[in-house]
Copies of this chain bind each other. A is one copy, B any other.
């Protein structure tokens, strides 16, 4: 049921409904049927889709070579507080028309930053109150909140990792405020993405000092939030580079190592973005697997990169094969902890119709939903799991188990090798498995 404010922004677009795969209606779901049961849960429970406030309502099409192309009608009011309310009206209308329940935000997505810290705090209070009112009686929730610690020039040398202590203090203040807003809006989780937490050049950087500061900063933030009663997860979102030459949260393995070293694993989980994974030289499913194996898979930023560009293109996910392989990892590892599937994705700079924001989300939602359905088919209706289990069956033998327990030493193994003689080859069967997946698409 569309939640329309004082003005309808997406006129002519009705609630998006499931119409099935034969439908030719571009404004309908072909695969996403929220209440359909798949692998023991509702589709909407597997896939807690969230809309990204910054892209969908804030991205005006600026790129390094051009100015804004999108004149959103909710961005016109002269008064910044009213402008923020208009934007929130548009957001609630959009999310409800899509039939979704979640959004994610940075502090200054909700409302533009003021000229002073005081002014910003005043603005944040205003929009928080408005948000509290808007949410009443609606199913709309916040998947996670965060603070933008990368856009303002004060953060040009980093936020928590700035060489200037006073910038670190400023960033701390901003995080305190963002946590307060997240709690006030009953946000379920809180995210850290360290866009400027890294370096441009090692020549002017003391890396160890900066990373120690980052850990202290996260401890401070976590302690404060817990003291205010926040029960949700904290997420770190890895990215290898951009805008920094090197970001400290390079990839999932790096972040897990960091969280372990600084004793942050009780409270923090990983938020994995597809495009960040691929920029780090990994597949999306690899990053998911690394996080899941550490029991640290917290949330997903769903999008798609261009494998031939070296930057974050944040396109909506449309690559069915890629998302199937990802869902296979997620489903086999018991899902994600606390988070959801946030569309950290934007329409192209030249997709300037408001309807394009709908098309893009519909495409992304259907891609994930379809991938979930395919995953169910692969797991329950093919030989897929048998093939992989059989592949590792030698570790179910007595000696294989003994190795895993650590009761065979190098000399024992040396003797086993001698006893065995040369071994027979065992095909990895990758082509067969790929065909099985494709046949289920």
Contacts and interface: CB of A to CB of B under 8 A. Distances in A.
Contacts of A43: none
B156 A425 contact: yes
A351 interface: yes
In the complex, which of the residues A153, A285, A319 has the most CB atoms of chain B within 10 Å of its own CB atom? Answer: A153
A42 interface: no
Interface string A268-287: 00000000001011110110
A330 interface: no
A293 B204 CA distance: 16
B173 A417 contact: yes
Contact of A417 (B169, B311, B353): B169
Contacts of A245: 306, 308-309
Given A68-B153, A240-B281, A325 B202 contact: yes
Interface centre among A293, A329, A427 (most CB of B within 10 A): A427
Contact of A438 (B356, B367, B431): B367
| A interface residue count range (under 10 / 10 to 19 / 20 to 34 / 35 or more) | 35 or more
A64 B195 CA distance: 11
Given A165-B394, A253-B257, 17 more contacts: A24-B382, A64-B311, A66-B243, A117-B418, A166-B394, A166-B416, A168-B413, A202-B283, A202-B286, A204-B430, A220-B408, A245-B308, A250-B251, A311-B311, A320-B320, A352-B427, A367-B438
A207 interface: yes
Nearest to A261: B260
Nearest to A434: B318
A169 B413 contact: yes
Contact of A204 (B61, B172, B242, B433): B433
Nearest to A402: B165
Contacts of A363: 431, 434-435, 438
A404 interface: yes
A156 B69 contact: yes
B406 A219 contact: yes
Interface stretch (A5-13, A73-81, A133-141, A208-216): A208-216
A57 B210 CA distance: 32
B200 A414 contact: no
Given A203-B437, A208-B293, A431 B360 contact: yes
B223 A409 contact: yes
A117 to B, nearest CB: 6
A406 to B, nearest CB: 6
A224 interface: yes
Nearest to A313: B245
A35 interface: no
Contact of A253 (B250, B282, B434): B250
B65 A411 contact: no
Nearest to A333: B208
A129 interface: no
A41 interface: no
B410 A175 contact: yes
Please provide the 4 A-B residue pairs with the shortest distance between their CB atoms, ordered closest to farther. A310-B310, A257-B257, A307-B307, A172-B413
A435 B26 contact: yes
A150 interface: yes
Contacts of A170: 417, 420, 423
Nearest to A24: B382
A36 interface: no
